[in-house]
Amino acid sequence: MYLGIDLGGTNIAVGLVDRDGNILHKDKVKTRADRHYSEIVKDMAELSKKVTEESGFSKSEIEWVGIGSPGSCDSERGVVVSASNLNFKNTPIREEFQKHWNVPVYLANDADCAAYGEAMRGNAKGTSSSVTVTLGSGVGGGVIINGNIMTGVNFGSELGHMIINFDGEKCKCGNRGCWEVYASANALVRQTREAMKQNPESLMWKEAGSLEGVSGRTAFSAAKKGDAAGQKTVDKYLEFVAIGISNIIEIFQPEKILIGGGVANEGESLLQPIRNFCKSSRSTIITTAALGNDAGIIGAAFLGAQYAKKIK
Amino acid sequence: MYLGIDLGGTNIAVGLVDRDGNILHKDKVKTRADRHYSEIVKDMAELSKKVTEESGFSKSEIEWVGIGSPGSCDSERGVVVSASNLNFKNTPIREEFQKHWNVPVYLANDADCAAYGEAMRGNAKGTSSSVTVTLGSGVGGGVIINGNIMTGVNFGSELGHMIINFDGEKCKCGNRGCWEVYASANALVRQTREAMKQNPESLMWKEAGSLEGVSGRTAFSAAKKGDAAGQKTVDKYLEFVAIGISNIIEIFQPEKILIGGGVANEGESLLQPIRNFCKSSRSTIITTAALGNDAGIIGAAFLGAQYAKKIK
């Protein structure tokens, strides 16, 4: 049995996962991210024990605990190097956790855990190379090569900061034209609002109620009802998504690319235009992620499978 | 002892390489790429025997032969899937070679071999992750992850076809704004000619003699002598190079990025502006490739070290 912990800015989620990748029991508590890390990690350990007990297993049956954290993670040392939304800076998560429960602890970036979960038990199961892209408030991604999480010297891939338009809009990171400026769910909301302002007659107004009511679904819903401005917004957005996907194919040539995040619920109306744009992708299969929020828990729970050989 | 073969559109180069990566002896013959593959491979085998004999070793002392070929290579099957400049299409290089010399034969893409050579014995020696980018008539690249060549399902990375400007100039591949449209040596020649037309007084005219005389060195030489238009051309070109390098850092976060090709002879005047652009690169070291044309031979010669475990 393994425990997988998905540490987020809002919630700490813990799942008890068996060798087949089934989550037998899970629970969550609020992160309350403004606290000192020692209190957050204490809650992670307490919840881990609770989930274990509630599922009828004893602590000694847990082989290891895996943690997926936002930010840059040094898996070797078990340290979160930096995670701005948690105010973590060189935070010794493993050491702190083991003060409460002396069990092997593995750590990796949360997007990497989600990609690993999809590769182990989700829509990339059975492949040796896959990339899972999450279109959320930013664009995150995890890369699996030869069945392992790809991490570089700075700990993990920042696919969202690939420049796709060097004369384009400024990104928070300082560069111009990063992928996430165009392809995140936030970008889609911004693009939808602009299209609404230019098209006062568009159905998107009815879908959203107001500019404030706009979500990632607004343009998709209007498009499905035949709204031309909605369709145009969707088409342009999906082209932006596809450009980054096309780059990922050129760079990694993975067996599969999975798209996750709320927008991925659009299914085929999301996937088909992207596949058309990437038609030269030959054998790379483009599809949606399967596990949703569970991917992070399952991936974290399986971290030991990758790291146990390398880390004491 | 190993043999490394660098199969190019112009020359077949064979080197006898010892376990330390020293080329003890090498020789080359013209490829004459318009011939049937059986004749080309026969010449590869003949030259391999000749190099072995001339260096005083016996055939039985050769542990394996490694071949770096242009195009998409299926290393498992020892087949060049497609290499347009050689008219190769599903060409069974290994099988054909073994008709002449029954020795273990390993095959990989030539840019991957060059990156592997640099990782084993060149400027990326001692790193576990590195990317070697070659700025030539196109932009080629090889990626080393955990000490091994990264190959995807379509056999190897096409870094030059990463889109960096989605509204930009059309690329031969069909997409717009690929990196190699801006950052190849050919692109620099084109950019230099355009700058010369707009600046009839520029020193670049003296350097090149005429538009036909322009090379990748023209703008760099003029810039070094204080020519403003030459400097502007160099600055802009290096910004294009740096955008792709920045993307490679975001995506792979490798320990080192090496830049090869003729332009790399510019050394620090090439590297410094790129490092400035990528200043957020933190720990990734950007430098030039060390081995020049020998990288391909050395990398090919070491292929067995990666593949011997996996391939019979």
pLDDT of residue B154: 59
Percentage of chain B surpassing pLDDT 90? 78
**A256 to chain B: closest CA residue:** B153
DSSP state of A57: -
Contact B150 A174 (CB under 8 A): no
Model confidence at B173, in pLDDT bands (50, 70, 90)? confident
Provide the greatest CA pair distance for chain B: 64
- CB pair distance less than 8 Å for A165 and B161: no
**B interface mutation test: which of A252, A274, A276 has the most B CBs within 10 A?**
A252
Residue type, A310: K
Alpha-carbon A212 to chain mean position: 25
- CB-CB neighbors (< 8 A) of B148 in chain A: 146
B257-306 residue pLDDT tens? 999 988 999 999 999 999 999 887 668 999 999 999 899 999 999 998 88
Better pLDDT: A173 or B243:
B243
Alpha helix ranges (H) inside chain B: 37-54, 93-100, 110-121, 179-183, 185-198, 204-208, 218-224, 228-252, 268-277, 294-301, 303-307
Question: What backbone phi and psi angles, to 5 degrees, belong to B21?
Answer: 90, 10
Rounded distance between C-alpha atoms, residue A168 and residue A181, angstroms: 9
Which has the closest alpha carbon to A256: A227, A287, A282? A287
CB of B183 within 8 A of CB of B261?
Answer: no
The minimal CB distance from B166 to the residues A173, A243, A280 is found for: A243
pLDDT digits (tens, 9 = 90+) for A21-53: 999 999 999 999 999 999 999 999 999 999 999
Q: What is the pLDDT of residue A138?
A: 86
**CA dihedral sign, ordered B189, B192, B197, B202:** negative
Tokens of A251: 């760079």
What is the DSSP secondary-structure string of B139-160?
EEEEEEETTEE---TTSS--GG
Q: B250–A157: do the CB atoms touch at under 8 Å? A: yes
List of residues 6+ apart from B264 with CB closer than 8 A? B135, B270, B288, B289
Nearest CA in chain A to B253: A152
Kindly state the average pLDDT of the residues A100-127.
95
- The CA distance from A243 to A269, in Å, is 17
Distance from CA of A193 to the nearest CA of B (A): 22
The answer to whether residues A7 and A97 touch, using CB atoms and an 8 Å cutoff, is no
- State whether A164 and B164 contact (CB < 8 Å): yes
- At B311 the pLDDT is 43
- Which residues of B fall below an 8 Å CB-CB distance to A? 129, 145-146, 148, 150-159, 161-167, 173-175, 177, 239-240, 243, 246-247, 249-255, 280, 282-284
At B71 the pLDDT is 84
Q: Which of A175, A251, A253 sits opposite B162 (nearest CB)?
A: A251
Residue B230 has pLDDT above 70, yes or no: yes
Q: Residue B312 above 50 pLDDT?
A: no
- Answer yes or no: is pLDDT of A305 > 70: yes
Among chain A residues, CA nearest to B174: A280
Bridging pattern class, strands A88-91 and B256-260: unpaired
- CB neighbourhood size of B304 (10 A): 18
- Give contacts of B152 with chain A, Cβ < 8 Å: 129, 252-255, 284
User: What's the pLDDT tens digit per position in A122-161?
Assistant: 999 999 999 999 998 889 899 999 898 988 765 666 899 9
Q: What is the pLDDT of residue A156?
A: 62
The pLDDT tens digits for A191-216 are: 999 999 999 999 999 999 999 999 99
Using an 8 Å CB-CB cutoff, list residues of chain A that contact chain B.
Answer: 129, 145-146, 148, 150-159, 161-167, 173-175, 177, 239-240, 243, 246-247, 249-255, 280, 282-284
pLDDT digits (tens, 9 = 90+) for A226-258: 999 999 999 999 999 999 999 999 899 899 999
Asked whether residue B153 carries a pLDDT value surpassing 90, the answer given is: no
How far is it, in rounded angstroms, from Cα B108 to Cα B104? Answer: 14
Cβ atoms B267, B238 nearer than 8 A: no
Report the C-alpha gap between A260 and A265 in whole angstroms. 8
B90: CB partners within 8 A, 6+ apart? B79, B80, B81, B82
Q: Closest by alpha carbon to B291, among B6, B2, B85?
A: B6
Which of A60-69, A144-153, B81-90 has the highest average model confidence (pLDDT)? Answer: A60-69
- Predicted local distance difference test score (pLDDT) of residue A84: 75
**Which of these ranges, A43-47, A117-121, B111-115, B306-310, has the smallest mean pLDDT?**
B306-310
Amino acid identity of residue A114, one-letter, is A
Q: Is the pLDDT of residue A312 over 60?
A: no
Q: Mark yes or no for CB contact B246/A163 under 8 Å.
A: yes
On the CB side of A173, CA atoms within 13 Å amount to 23
Q: What is the pTM of this model?
A: 0.87
Sort out which chain A residues have CB atoms less than 8 A from B252's CB and list them.
Answer: 150, 152, 157
User: For position B305, what pLDDT does the model report?
Assistant: 83
Q: Phi/psi of residue B107, each to 5°?
A: -135, 140
For residue B191, give every residue at least 6 positions away whose Cβ sits within 8 Å of its Cβ, in sequence order, or none: B219, B233, B236, B237
The minimum CA-CA distance between A235 and chain B, rounded to whole Å, is 15
Report the DSSP beta bridge partners of residue B145. Answer: B148
Confidence class for position A311, pLDDT limits 50, 70, 90:
very low
pLDDT tens, B2-24? 999 999 988 999 999 999 999 99
| 3-state SS class at A162 | coil
pLDDT at B293: 87
Q: Do B158 and A283 touch (CB under 8 A)?
A: no
More confident residue, B139 or A202: A202
Residue B281: per-residue pLDDT:
63
Q: How far is A142 from chain B (nearest CA, A)?
A: 10
Tell me the average pLDDT across B56-62: 96
ipTM over 0.90: no
Q: Which residues of B touch A246 (CB under 8 A)?
A: 163, 175
Q: Name every chain A residue with its beta carbon within 8 A of the beta carbon of B251.
A: 157-159, 162, 251
> Cα separation of B93 and B260, whole Å?
27
CB B48 within 8 A of CB B3: yes
Note the pLDDT tens digit of each residue in A267-292.
Answer: 999 999 999 998 876 689 999 999 99
Is the Cβ pair B156, A253 closer than 8 Å? yes
| Mean of all residue pLDDT scores within chain B | 93
Q: What is the pLDDT of residue A58?
A: 96
Q: Does residue B199 or residue A75 have the better pLDDT?
A: B199
Distance between CA A159 and CA A163 in Å, rounded?
Answer: 9
- A-B interface: how many C-beta pairs under 8 angstroms? 112
Q: In what order do the strands lie in the sheet with A2-7?
A: A23-30, A11-17, A2-7, A64-69, A105-109
Segment A87-99, tens digit of pLDDT: 899 999 999 999 9
Reduced to 3 states (helix: H, G, I; strand: E, B; else coil), residue B221 is helix
* Contact state of B164 with A167 under an 8 Å Cβ cutoff: no
Q: What is the pLDDT of residue A153?
A: 65
pLDDT over 50 at A165, yes or no = yes
What residues of A are in contact with residue B163 (Cβ under 8 Å)? 164, 243, 246-247
CB-CB under 8 Å, A159 with B250: yes
**From B153, B162, B280, residue closest to A247, measured CB to CB:** B162
CA distance A116 to A122: 9
